[in-house]
Amino acid sequence: PDLGTEFLERPLANPLMNAAGVWCTLAAQLDALADSEAAAIVTKSCTLVRRDGNPEPRYRALPLGSINSMGLPNEGYLYYLDYAAHHDYDHKPLFVSVSGLSLDDNLTIVAALRDVVLPALLEINLSCPNVPGKAQPGYDFEAMDELLAEVATAYRRPFGVKLPPYFDFAHFDTVAQILNRYEHLAFITCINSVGNALIIDTGQESAVIRPKDGFGGLGGDYVLPTALANVNAFHRRCPTKTIIGCGGVRTGEHVFQHLLAGATLVQVGTALYEEGPGIFQRLARELAELMAHKGYRRIDEFRGRLKTL
Ligand code: RRO
């Protein structure tokens, strides 16, 4: 089968890419993604100024996924703009994830990205759960609308948002209504980690990560159903926007489920962290095998065509 797809009218070899935050903080990691079977790349969410992030241990692999409270460690936005300036866009698209700590910081970074006039794609992260004292804009609908209004005015090219998971139809409706007001908000990435979970080690009677008394974002198998629900909820409510699925992808079958729910691209976080960039070749092979088994020749034949009872 043909794994080819299109993102904002650009043909891609397959629908796979990394999730922001995983294997994308340093140039050498991004280069490894550029050399992998991933069809696109996104950089670690950046702030105005370089950050060390939270104290370690701040990531733990678990039998069913991961918990993290990294705290936005990154090299500062100029580092990623420089990386973007040297990236080969004919080879694969590059997204730059932006997670300024204030509206002003976000606008400074967005203006810089606009002014360098690169084909890089802006993904605004509305959903970092791990910076002590900073609420997620994704859970403050007024703040989210204000931020999007300012970004959409300053930045006239297609851009997207990375959303936190939502758990209520009223929230799906409200958020979709806000996003639909912005015409060149072209893509929606669902979901960021399921924030502020607590994993307890029974033997040690202890939290397993140091920051925030052990509270952190869940990824991996734990979050697949929540991710699929959010992908499908926004696919239904935002028909003019492209959905990027993220959450719980470890096998080709998980990729297939995200596509069926309405995703156009599918990001890989925890499983990439654990397996490394070689995972994209395995996922592509597993997706191709599943499609062949089902008699599908192209992703278009099933994407978004989830059946209901
Ligand atoms: O760096 C982090 O702690 C982090 C971020 Br910015 C995010 O958006 N999601 C996440 O799980 N961790």
- Measure Cα distances from 201 to 62, 103, 214, 258 in Å: 11, 38, 11, 31
For residues 125-138, give the mean pLDDT.
Answer: 88
Per-residue pLDDT at 85: 96
Cα 98 from Cα 47, distance rounded (Å):
7
What percent of the chain is modeled with pLDDT above 90? 96
What pLDDT does residue 44 have? Answer: 98
pLDDT of residue 197: 98
- How many residues are there in the chain? 309
Q: Is the CB of 74 under 6 A from ligand 1?
A: no
β-pair type (94-98, 65-68): unpaired
What is residue 9's DSSP assignment? T
Instruction: Kindly report the backbone phi and psi dihedral angles of residue 50, in degrees, each rounded to the nearest multiple of 5, phi listed first.
Output: -50, 140
Give how far Cα 122 sits from Cα of 49, 78, 152, 170, 178, Å.
Answer: 18, 14, 11, 27, 18
* Residue 129: pLDDT over 90: no
pLDDT at 91 over 90: yes
Q: Is 189 in the pocket of ligand 1 (CB under 6 A)?
A: no
Task: Check residue 222 and report its DSSP letter.
Answer: G
pLDDT in tens, 193-229: 999 999 999 999 999 999 999 999 999 999 999 999 9
% of the chain with per-residue pLDDT over 70: 100
Is the CB–ligand 1 distance for residue 192 below 6 Å? yes
Maximum distance among all alpha carbons in the chain? 54
> Cα–Cα distance between 195 and 255 in angstroms, integer?
22
pLDDT at 249: 99
Taking the C-alpha atoms of residue 261 and residue 264, their distance in angstroms, rounded to an integer, is 10
Q: What is the DSSP letter of 149?
A: H
Spatial contact of 220 and 197, defined as CB atoms under 8 Å apart: no
Query: Does residue 117 surpass a pLDDT of 90?
Result: no
Whether residue 68 has its Cβ less than 6 Å from ligand 1: yes
Domains in the chain and their CATH numbers?
Answer: 5-53+71-196+220-301 (3.20.20.70)
For residue 195, the CA-to-ligand 1 centroid distance in Å is 9
Pocket test for ligand 1, best of 51, 69, 98, 130 (most atoms within 8 A of CB): 130
What's the confidence (pLDDT) of residue 270?
A: 98
The 10s digit of each residue's pLDDT in 7-58 is: 999 999 999 999 999 999 999 999 999 999 999 999 999 999 999 999 999 9
Q: Give the per-residue pLDDT at 133.
A: 84
Contact 194, 156 (CB under 8 A): no
Site to substitute for ligand 1 among 60, 72, 191, most atoms within 8 A of C-beta: 72
CA of residue 158 relative to chain centroid, distance: 16
Residues 6+ apart with CB under 8 A from 63: none
Q: Is the CB of 164 under 6 A from ligand 1?
A: no
Does an H or E element contain 79, and which?
helix 77-86
Query: Which SS3 state, helix, strand or coil, does residue 200 take?
Result: strand
How far apart CA 192 and CA 53 sit, in angstroms, is 18
Q: What mean pLDDT comes out for the span 147-174?
A: 97
Nearest Cα to 306, choosing from 201, 229, 209? 229
- Is the CB of 128 within 6 Å of ligand 1? yes
Residues annotated as catalytic (active site), given as ranges: 128
Judge whether residue 130 has pLDDT over 90: no
DSSP label of 55: P
**What is the distance in A from the centroid of ligand 1 to the CA of 68?**
7
Q: What is d(CA 106, CA 147) in angstroms, rounded to the nearest whole number?
A: 8
Helix, strand, coil percentages in the chain from 3-state DSSP, rounded to 5 = 40, 25, 40
Segment 234-293, tens digit of pLDDT: 999 999 999 999 999 999 999 999 999 999 999 999 999 999 999 999 999 999 999 999
Residues pairing with 266 in the sheet: 16, 245
To test ligand 1's pocket by mutation, which of 192, 196, 210, 222 has the most ligand atoms within 8 angstroms of CB?
A: 192
Nearest C-alpha to atom 9 of ligand 1 is from which residue? 128
Tokens 């009677």 -> residue: 205
